[in-house]
Structure 1
Amino acid sequence: METAGDTVPEFDKPSSIGLKLKLSHEHPLQSKQIIKPKPHQIIEMMPLSARYLKYYIGKKINKKRPIMDFVHLISAQRMYGCPIGGIGGGTIGRGFKGEFCRFQLSPGLYEYVMVPECQFIVNIQNEKKETLFQSVLSTYEKPKRAPPSWEWNLNAEDCEYTALYPRAWTTYDLSKYGIKLICRQISPVIPHNYKDSSLPCAVFVFSAQNISNEHRNVSITFTWTEVLGGSNKKKSTAKLDLERYAEDHTSGVTLEQRIDETPCTFTLAKKKHENETIHEDYCLWNANKTSSYVWECLKKHGRLEPDPSLTPPPPKVPEKTEKEEKEKKEKQKKSYKCDSVGLSSVISLDPGGTGSTEFSLVWDMPIIKYKKDKKIHKRYYTKYFGSDGIAGASIAAYALRNYKNWEKQIAEWQDPILTNNNIPDWLKSALMNELYYIADGGTIWFDVHEEYPESDPRHDFGLFGYLEGHEYRMYNTYDVHFYASFALAQLWPNLQVVLQYMFRDTVALESEKCRLSLYDGKSVKLKTKNSIPHDLGDPEDIPFAHINAYNIHDVSEWRDLNLKFILQVIRDYRVLRGHTAPFSNERYHSMAYIDDVRDGTEDDLYSRSTGQAEKSPLNTPESTEESTPVTRVNKPYCVGDILDLLYRSTEPEAEGEDSGDKPEAIETSNVWDCKTYLADMYPSCVALLRRSAMWDKDGDGLIENGGFPDQTYDAWVMQGPSAYCGGLWVASVSVVRAMAHILGFEEDEREFAKLLDQARHSFEEKLWNGSYYKFDTRPANAKVVMADQLAGHWYLRASGWTEPVFPEVNVKKALRVIYENNVLRFKEGRMGAVNGYVTGERGHVDTTAVQSEEVWTGVTYGLAALMIYEDMHEEAFITAGGLNKTLLQMGLLFETPEALLENGHHRSIAYMRPLSIWAMYQAIVARPPPPAPLANGQVNNTKEKTKL
């Protein structure tokens, strides 16, 4: 029993920033996934539709799922809050009203179900142990399948939810019964902490305050049942074990089941209290038959006790024969079929007192074996906790020891962002909450340290994959990851590096195997040499081995994939350099200083700052800048500024005298070396650029599109030179030339410098019309303004480019035209930037294709990031802020879609591309807005405004 404490825990108070909803909240905009192409679009799509339908029927006949199901679309549920779980170990969704829902335990496969037996239940008793109040801690309407005797008694108006991923708070005002209750939910999703971020667990801390003049006992009970996970959707009898973990000062119950034929063990645990016996505060029960016992037991005793009808008392006779023991066990197996567990903890509160109790939930599913694959894959957390399937208790104990440390690390990362006056509050909230997709994007993360040498980042950081979207089931879809990668690059840079090495290894591959393209029915190679694949596979196939699951177009002819690899390499190089800046002086951490490249010191921050050369073949000791030598210092483990040091070498102080409360020492790790990264990537970048040059059919230095959807807008045709692909091409030539210069390949540098001059001239001559860059050179598209026309320039700015590859005056004009047309003239700026807009007296949304008339969330955030780089902060915040407000009103957070339509509907729920919102943060760090004019007498808190 937890007794009252003197103070409220540090992190109990909900964050002032975040998604805040009353539990009675109803979203005002009723968005659904309804796609109604226009008549001319239907005619154009008919051949593709016919071939897709044939493909779809073939999949269904073979009892397989299509990688994209356009027949059975999933509309947003509008119910979700922060999901729980780390990265790559599976996730469990939670509704903001308190329910467990949307299970993603089999990699990449979702079950949109709410399990009513998975709940928290509160019981409040007075000093006489009379129950004053009891309720399931959810205000979601009681499901029909819920246990009949359980009651949903909360007043939704008295409860509020706050989400600031990876944390969430729910406050319950139970003043009528003398109690105020807070539940805070913590998942170990912590930037730069790879060990803890991989754990399949969450911690729930309940804090109670007695505001009455009488004693109160507040009981919290956590119940769990076998979740549906098999192909037949039927429950089986689960194996239950009750274990005590006295050595770790925790106790708990476990539930073993199979999910899609894979063993999974759920563990519920809490802190073990002194003098607690093995028969206290738990029970095993049957969801269909004995759920009433759980409810009545709590009402009577204020805590769970074992059900004597399902858990017989210990035998009274001292000895039994071996035969009798065997017969008894067999009889019990037949008689007592339990599929659910429960665990209680009581907080004893004197008048005015406060107290708390903690629970952890773990799902240990360490081994993944794909149906077609003979290989056994181990999730990344098994590197630390083993793969034998019995780690649930250890992980639960670890979580309960370390969750306070997790909260401190999360605060060290988030607080500098949350207190930065340069960032609007809505953006602070959106930055954190969009990160849900890093874990809940069907994410898999495997430990493969035995398969790679130490010189390869995969040896230390494994293989990583996340889906294009919950409905678009392809791993690491590269044209989309181009936008989303800003989150990984800044927060888990080693995972971004791993992903890049995974794609690098595919560049030289060529497959003789062919398949039909659904777009035109032609037979095309599955993979062509010197091309970046569209994706790294389908979770229902063999991901990472069978690549290019996408089968609509011949992706080897896509104009953007190769170029996006090159641009990510140089962006990563810049960010990695910032991560490894080894100095305490803030001046040396600024992007301006890091980007102040001089001949001979391009990659030598240390020598430029101290005048002392490090031993590196790429460094020279010369430095023309006077500086005071500084020493390397330890910095906080997790910090807001992406350029601060990321790792501390000291152990955190132990909390409490009891060794069971002592958190684990933080495992330090290095960010992958930027010089090694660039050198390893350069040969592939050159090969990809030279193959891309083959798309320059007229020899003018500028590539042309092929007259089919050959880029990320895979239903929107570009033909000849185009602003989007042409801009990516020009930027990529500039990047490879810079790489050659940094690495000392003088002949390559001369070759690409010449090509760059030619490409820039052709791009401006053929596509600049005096106000913006033309969609392509066809007369029919002469007035089409594309929101994403400056994608190449955006990446150069994100990579620290100061050289005007694209004329500055043209960039500013184009951004102004995009803002005035695609933003302000579309829904009055309330829904972001529409992809295509036709200018003129009768300006209108471009309806050429389904995608031209959509707003892509990730593209809007990327556009806003570029606006920030170009000192258009107000326009950036209006553009992205209008979109974010609409998403809030639609209830689409934690399932952010790829696209919104003018009619208020959406397409493709829970999508990767919106992670590009982290490009806005990187831009604000590099280009903070100018200080606002101050009235006379107003104090200018410069320190607060510039704090990052």
Structure 2
Amino acid sequence: MTQHQFSIPPHTWTRPIGLGWDKPYTVRMASNLDDGPWHGMPLGGFGAGCIGRASRGDFNLWHIDSGEHTFKSIPACQFSIFEQQASTSQAFALCTQPPADGTLTTWQWYPQHCENGVYHALYPRSWFIYENVFQAHLACEQFSPILPENYQETSYPVAVFVWRAHNPTNAPLTLSIMLTWQNTVGWFQNAIKNPEIRMRDDGSPVYEYEPCLGNSAGNFNRLIVEDNYCACLLERTGSDLQDGIGQWAIATTQQPNIELFYHTRWNPNSDGAEIWHNFANNGFLPNTENTTPAGKQEQLAAAIAVRFTLQPGETREIPFAIAWDFPVTEFALGVKYFRRYTDFFGRNGDNALAIAQTALQNYQSWQQQIQAWQQPILDRDDLPSVFKMALFNELYDLTSGGTLWSAADDRDPVGQFAVLECFDYRWYESLDVRLYGSFALLMLWSKLEKSVIRAFARAIGQRDDHTRVIGYYYTQGLESPTALRKVAGATPHDLGAPNEHPWEATNYTSYQDCNLWKDLSCDFVLQVYRDFVLTGATDWELLWDCWSAVVQTLTYLKTFDLDGDGIPENSGAPDQTFDDWRLQGVSAYCGGLWLAALEAAIAIGKTLLSYPDDHPASKILASAPDYPPIPETIDIFQSWLVRSRPIYQEKLWNGQYYRLDSKSGSDVVMADQLCGQFYARLLGLPDIVPPECATQALKTVYNACFVKFHNGQFGAANGLKLDGSPENPNATHPLEVWTGINFGLAAFLMQMGMKSEAWRITQAVVQQVYDNGLQFRTPEAITAKGTFRACHYLRPMAIWAIYRVLTF
């Protein structure tokens, strides 16, 4: 049986069902998250919560509580198959790993053998192809309606499972497909109502999270049968609408010549015989309907099954849907938002069936729309196969990255959006990280991207006088100075954390004093102009909304130009995205971003000066007497640029590359030294350095940081000497391969015509991730020792920057 028999596209990530990993990457720091390699593609809409099913067949990822991570196999949540031909029958639950807790011992579990089937993933679709076990050819496609520039269906909390069964034999085959689901309403909320914030061993602020797993008292299930659908609703009695309260629905369609069976109340903590005996013998369920709520010590689950007979050569398609409706997201106690999908299904928490029905009505259209989006890219002969695979699969983080998407209001007509930096650094939309990592959002859901940028613009003028200690000094064994949380005019590092008030209480991280960072202001300005230019240069309202913040934050950053040479100096503390790496004086990384940001700010000002007076948005200027005067501001920025541009070249260019900085004396070659030049050229701005210098610097980076670093096997390290040796063998960031930085570097190489080098770096990083158990949890950093740091990271979506440069 070939994958094409079931319309599986090429260029998927594949894994034999149930095949483990001999030596998967392991976490670098014991306190960091490491669930192991059993991660599959997540299912669910943006900001709706998500679930995940691993390549061995179990549902084990439960991101139902926004911003929180629960990784646990729940065996009763499962698909099972019964097959009978003549007097011979067999039945298997479709996971190769039996429960480790002693439950469901009567069930037969799918045999784990490398020839028994293959898992494929190409986000937002994935497939299980079952082979050499059943007589029938069986495939299950699973997906959610993730559709570019779609701001409705993309938010739906639903997963569709399309089963296709084909009878290749010369005799009839009877099949039954069963979906069982444990009632977990109320499980995914924090049992600790006032979580304590503490400092972890790596200096990061963390807080306690304890999901209410097993808290099922009051849960009940009921059957819904209509003309076209059969469903079980999993609910809870008498609970106020709050975080984690709502419904699950499991549903399928009624079709001719198909029998439907159900059981609304069975015990998932038992041996499972009450379900398995009938199903394994004849493929049916006893049609038990019982809505009695669970007692304090009880657990309950529901099941639906469909049974049908395939004649020789016949193929049949059977859809199932799993939907959930948990409409409220609560952050700090009492800080609540409704999720985006509630704009379309209501906010009372009883719409899971309506969501499931919508999926069963529209899933074929959704499949077609996903295929129409992906096929032109998949058909391109100039793109390597591993790149096509990773390009789509790296979008997983928009679903499972603790994603928030709030309901719409007058100020935010498509709602507010945010993705965590990662679960180890649990704060939203870290601006330095999204400098590369937000290309995917910009290119595919531009309105969500702009909502994030507007949130940063609103936050720049705010101040927060709370003080806290700085974690970096804690990791060095030094006494920490205290720092203000947020200084007015400073661009915040992030948009807050799930335990406080995202979008409003910013700068959650306290590993460094981010008010002192030299890249954040520039990152903001560049992303404002990027979002304008790369979406057609017509959204002038975005520029108006951000102009004051642009002026304020660049003016603030200029105060760090202590020697008056036009460029803010790095302080010697780690004060930029490489926040374990000390830079001193004028640095290649931050200085280049400064030059590019000044160019972008000047371009923004000139664009606003050309704005039509009769456009409605021009009223913003007329009604804001304190709005920064544009001509005078352009002149100021121009004077800074004229002074600083030659200083940058004079202090840092050494004929082969741009030195790390002007004062440390380091001779390290920094991989991302010319990020500012990449952005300038991307946005059609003047080069910040001579093009021949940029080309030479890139060649030096490629040879020193990639080729001479373990022969290019892992990707480009952040910073090495010309001969590929480390400046400090005990350093952290310089010796790490940052996946997102590598994709950004590859985009720069592509931009400068160095395509073969770009593809070599890209392929090396992709293979390290997807061959070593890091799929669907791509980390920030990997090392040559087979360790990683900060999985589920935002920055690797920078792979879309490569596609942007290559395509436009």
Q: Same fold (TM over 0.5)?
A: yes
Change (3 A) 1:867 1:336: closer
Change (3 A) 1:748 1:444: same
Q: 1:417 corresponds to which residue?
A: 377
Asked if 2 retains the 8 angstrom alpha-carbon contact of 1:480 and 1:912, the reply is: yes
Q: 2:318 corresponds to which residue?
A: 357
Q: 1:403 corresponds to which residue?
A: 363
| SS of residue matched to 2:405 | strand
Q: 1:389 corresponds to which residue?
A: 349
| SS of residue matched to 1:810 | helix
Change (3 A) 1:136 1:334: closer
Q: CA deviation at 1:734?
A: 1.1
Q: 2:10 corresponds to which residue?
A: 16
Q: 1:619 corresponds to which residue?
A: none
2:647 paired residue among 756, 762, 776? 762
For residues 419-458 of structure 1, what are the structure 2 equivalents within 5 Å? Answer: 419-449=379-409, 452=410, 456=411, 458=412
Q: CA deviation at 1:376?
A: 3.1
1:810 equivalent to 2:688? Answer: no
Q: Partner letter of residue 117 of structure 2?
A: C
Unaligned runs of 5+ in 2: 192-211, 474-479, 610-629
| SS of residue matched to 2:689 | coil
Q: Partner letter of residue 188 of structure 1?
A: P
Q: 1:686 corresponds to which residue?
A: 551
Change (3 A) 1:800 1:218: farther
Q: CA deviation at 1:75?
A: 2.2
| SS of residue matched to 1:758 | helix
For residues 443-479 of structure 1, the C-alpha deviation after alignment (integer angstroms, 9 at most, x for no partner) is 0111141xx3xxx4x1x21011111102211111111
Q: Aligned partners of 2:243 and 2:639: how far apart in 1?
A: 58
Q: 1:853 corresponds to which residue?
A: 735
For residues 763-810 of structure 1, the C-alpha deviation after alignment (integer angstroms, 9 at most, x for no partner) is 0000111111110123530x2100010111112232233x32221001
Asked if 2 retains the 8 angstrom alpha-carbon contact of 1:284 and 1:338, the reply is: no
Asked if 1 retains the 8 angstrom alpha-carbon contact of 2:147 and 2:370, the reply is: yes
Q: 1:894 corresponds to which residue?
A: 776
Q: CA deviation at 1:245?
A: 5.3
- After alignment, is 487-496 or 414-423 more displaced? 414-423
Change (3 A) 1:342 1:525: same
Q: 1:792 corresponds to which residue?
A: 676
Q: Aligned partners of 1:432 and 1:423: how far apart in 2?
A: 13
Q: Aligned partners of 2:253 and 2:708: how far apart in 1?
A: 58
Asked if 1 retains the 8 angstrom alpha-carbon contact of 2:459 and 2:492, the reply is: yes
For residues 848-872 of structure 1, the C-alpha deviation after alignment (integer angstroms, 9 at most, x for no partner) is 6311111110000000000000000
Q: CA deviation at 1:917?
A: 0.7
| SS of residue matched to 1:206 | strand
Q: Aligned partners of 2:575 and 2:294: how far apart in 1?
A: 60
Q: Aligned partners of 1:335 and 1:414: how far apart in 2?
A: 48
| SS of residue matched to 1:114 | coil
> What is the identity percentage for the equivalent residue pairs of Structure 1 and Structure 2?
31
Q: Partner letter of residue 368 of structure 1?
A: T
2:636 paired residue among 751, 756, 775? 751
Q: Aligned partners of 1:498 and 1:335: how far apart in 2?
A: 44
Change (3 A) 1:338 1:856: closer
Q: Aligned partners of 1:9 and 1:205: how far apart in 2?
A: 15
For residues 163-187 of structure 1, the C-alpha deviation after alignment (integer angstroms, 9 at most, x for no partner) is 000000111114x642110000011
Q: CA deviation at 1:552?
A: 2.0
Q: Partner letter of residue 214 of structure 2?
A: K
Q: 2:151 corresponds to which residue?
A: 194
2:59 paired residue among 67, 90, 100? 100
1:492 equivalent to 2:445? Answer: yes
Q: Partner letter of residue 256 of structure 1?
A: E
Q: Aligned partners of 1:415 and 1:847: how far apart in 2?
A: 46
| SS of residue matched to 2:321 | strand
For residues 488-637 of structure 1, what are the structure 2 equivalents within 5 Å? Answer: 488-520=441-473, 521-577=480-536
Q: CA deviation at 1:348?
A: 2.0
For residues 673-702 of structure 1, the C-alpha deviation after alignment (integer angstroms, 9 at most, x for no partner) is 511112222221122111111111111111
Q: CA deviation at 1:845?
A: 5.8
Q: Aligned partners of 2:484 and 2:640: how far apart in 1?
A: 30
Q: In the comparison of the two structures, how many residue pairs are matched?
A: 754
Q: CA deviation at 1:420?
A: 1.2
Q: CA deviation at 1:516?
A: 2.5
For residues 125-164 of structure 1, what are the structure 2 equivalents within 5 Å? Answer: 125-126=84-85, 130=87, 132-140=89-97, 142-156=99-113, 157-164=115-122
Change (3 A) 1:290 1:831: closer
Q: Aligned partners of 1:355 and 1:845: how far apart in 2?
A: 62
Q: CA deviation at 1:213?
A: 1.1
- After alignment, is 770-779 or 916-925 more displaced? 770-779
1:472 equivalent to 2:425? Answer: yes
Asked if 2 retains the 8 angstrom alpha-carbon contact of 1:731 and 1:796, the reply is: yes
Unaligned runs of 5+ in 1: 1-7, 36-70, 313-328, 578-602, 604-672, 927-948
Q: 2:179 corresponds to which residue?
A: 222
1:821 paired residue among 704, 727, 732? 704
Q: 1:60 corresponds to which residue?
A: none
| SS of residue matched to 1:736 | helix
Change (3 A) 1:107 1:705: same
Q: CA deviation at 1:121?
A: 0.2
Q: Aligned partners of 2:295 and 2:591: how far apart in 1?
A: 70
Q: CA deviation at 1:15?
A: 1.6
Asked if 2 retains the 8 angstrom alpha-carbon contact of 1:845 and 1:853, the reply is: no
Q: Aligned partners of 1:576 and 1:695: how far apart in 2?
A: 33
Asked if 2 retains the 8 angstrom alpha-carbon contact of 1:158 and 1:172, the reply is: yes
Q: CA deviation at 1:10?
A: 9.8
Compute the RMSD of aligned alpha carbons: 2.4
2:31 paired residue among 65, 72, 80? 72
Q: Aligned partners of 2:295 and 2:768: how far apart in 1?
A: 55
Q: CA deviation at 1:94?
A: 1.2
1:168 paired residue among 121, 126, 134? 126
Q: 1:666 corresponds to which residue?
A: none
Asked if 1 retains the 8 angstrom alpha-carbon contact of 2:258 and 2:308, the reply is: no
Asked if 1 retains the 8 angstrom alpha-carbon contact of 2:677 and 2:687, the reply is: no
| SS of residue matched to 1:886 | helix
Q: CA deviation at 1:883?
A: 1.2
Change (3 A) 1:788 1:846: farther
Q: Partner letter of residue 383 of structure 1?
A: D
| SS of residue matched to 2:27 | coil
Q: Partner letter of residue 50 of structure 2?
A: T
For residues 872-927 of structure 1, the C-alpha deviation after alignment (integer angstroms, 9 at most, x for no partner) is 0000010111111111221101011110112121111111111111111101102x
| SS of residue matched to 1:270 | strand
- After alignment, is 360-369 or 253-262 more displaced? 253-262
Q: CA deviation at 1:752?
A: 2.4
Q: Aligned partners of 1:264 and 1:141: how far apart in 2?
A: 29
Asked if 1 retains the 8 angstrom alpha-carbon contact of 2:81 and 2:177, the reply is: yes
Change (3 A) 1:838 1:788: same
Q: Aligned partners of 2:502 and 2:274: how far apart in 1?
A: 46
Q: Partner letter of residue 127 of structure 2?
A: W
2:794 paired residue among 904, 912, 917? 912
Asked if 2 retains the 8 angstrom alpha-carbon contact of 1:23 and 1:161, the reply is: yes
Q: CA deviation at 1:142?
A: 4.8
Q: Aligned partners of 1:813 and 1:467: how far apart in 2?
A: 36
Q: CA deviation at 1:131?
A: 5.2
Q: 1:946 corresponds to which residue?
A: none
Q: CA deviation at 1:337?
A: 5.8
1:344 equivalent to 2:305? Answer: yes
| SS of residue matched to 1:434 | helix
Change (3 A) 1:885 1:518: closer
Q: Which structure has the larger Rg?
A: 1
Q: Aligned partners of 1:96 and 1:289: how far apart in 2?
A: 25
| SS of residue matched to 1:160 | strand
Asked if 1 retains the 8 angstrom alpha-carbon contact of 2:39 and 2:775, the reply is: yes
Q: Partner letter of residue 255 of structure 1?
A: L
| SS of residue matched to 1:106 | coil
TM-score by length of 2: 0.89
For residues 373-410 of structure 1, the C-alpha deviation after alignment (integer angstroms, 9 at most, x for no partner) is x3431000000000101110000000111111111111
